[in-house]
Structure 1
Amino acid sequence: SECSGCKSIFQKLCRSHSEIQVNVRNEVLILIFFLQAAEDVNVTFEDQQKINKFARNTSRITELKEEIEVKKKQLQNLEDACDDIMMLDDGDSLLIPYQIGDVFISHSQEETQEMLEEAKKSLQEEIEALESRVESIQRVLSDLKVQLYAKFGNNINLEAEDS
């Protein structure tokens, strides 16, 4: 049964509610509050801000990790292309099509190899920058976990759900 006194999921928690779901974009992050009968849990505005920040950063980490995986696949494709070009005979004077935007432009084997190496280097730098951002956000999440667990103890679950 739902308590009519609840105006906002974080402003007032009623004993009749056993969990709170926070919808962050298209993903649902579940923050579970186990309310004990003898204990009154008071969530301040500052606590709400920390919980919201935790949810936003958790969602952002998920997005960044997905972006990293896409870029790693692109990097692997570039490495495969480099390997294929190296297997060609040096005597072959083939022009190799290289995609730039929506068009393919033919280049010599050497030029294509150089372009692929440059693209690999650029992609590797992007991956490293994204991984650095993930590490930075993980430090923020760790700090928030310490603060929230210090206040709420076992009444809050901030661990990621395995899906």
Structure 2
Amino acid sequence: MANTLALSSSTAGQDEGAQVTFDDQQKINSYARKTNKLSELLDEIKNKKKELQNLEDAGDELLMLDDDNAIIPYQIGESFLGHSIEDTQALVESAKEEVQKDIKQLEKSTEEIRDTLKELKVQLYAKFGNSINLEMDDA
């Protein structure tokens, strides 16, 4: 691929004008996309963990109820439906299992992305050295 760009070095001793090939640019773009996706997944994991904590708190509150005949409002979508304590506990447990499954899947996806990012980082730093910055802030 004849299409190249010059990437200037900020440190003395580095190869002035390292060439950025089309393949290199594709790797850089892939790194940026995967970094953004990783950030989104980490935010989603954080939200799912908060949701799981809320479900656990709700389950604990249900255990403290004294009235066995109470009707508990349970939100499904935008509606609240009345259920018995046992039914509500079962719904909460089911929701907790689903959220835990989602968290595991998201964590698996983040690990796959992190592995890919490590490979890309090694390849890009090998070619460009200190001329490129691929460090992420919080990931």
d(CA) in 2 for partners of 1:70 and 1:132? 16
2:106 aligned with 1:117: no
2:125 aligned with 1:149: yes
Matched AA of 2:68: D
Q: Which residue of 1 aligns with 2:81?
A: 105
Matched AA of 1:144: L
Q: Which residue of 2 aligns with 1:13?
A: 6
Q: Which residue of 1 aligns with 2:106?
A: 130
2:115 aligned with 1:139: yes
8 Å Cα contact 1:35/1:41 also seen in 2: no
For residue 95 of structure 1, report the CA deviation from its aligned partner: 0.4
Matched AA of 1:70: N
For residue 34 of structure 1, report the CA deviation from its aligned partner: 2.7
Aligned length, in residue pairs: 135
Gaps of 5+ in 2: none
2:37 aligned with 1:44: no
* Cα deviation 1:115-147 (Å, max 9, x = unaligned): 000000000000100000000000000000110
SS of 2:5's partner is coil
- With normalisation by structure 1, the TM-score equals 0.77
* Cα deviation 1:69-128 (Å, max 9, x = unaligned): 111111100000000000112x53100000111110000000000000000000000010
| Greater percentage in helix | 2
Q: Which residue of 1 aligns with 2:38?
A: 61
Gaps of 5+ in 1: 1-9, 16-32
Of residues 70, 74, 87 in structure 1, which corresponds to 2:47?
70
4+ residue runs over 4 A deviation: 35-38
Task: Give % identity.
Answer: 52
Which structure has the higher relative contact order (CA within 8 Å, separation 6+)? 2
CA 48–14 in structure 1, closer or farther in 2 if over 3 Å, else same: closer
Q: Which residue of 2 aligns with 1:5?
A: none
* Cα deviation 1:1-55 (Å, max 9, x = unaligned): xxxxxxxxx952375xxxxxxxxxxxxxxxxx63658622100000000000000
8 Å Cα contact 2:5/2:21 also seen in 1: no
d(CA) in 1 for partners of 2:7 and 2:130? 17
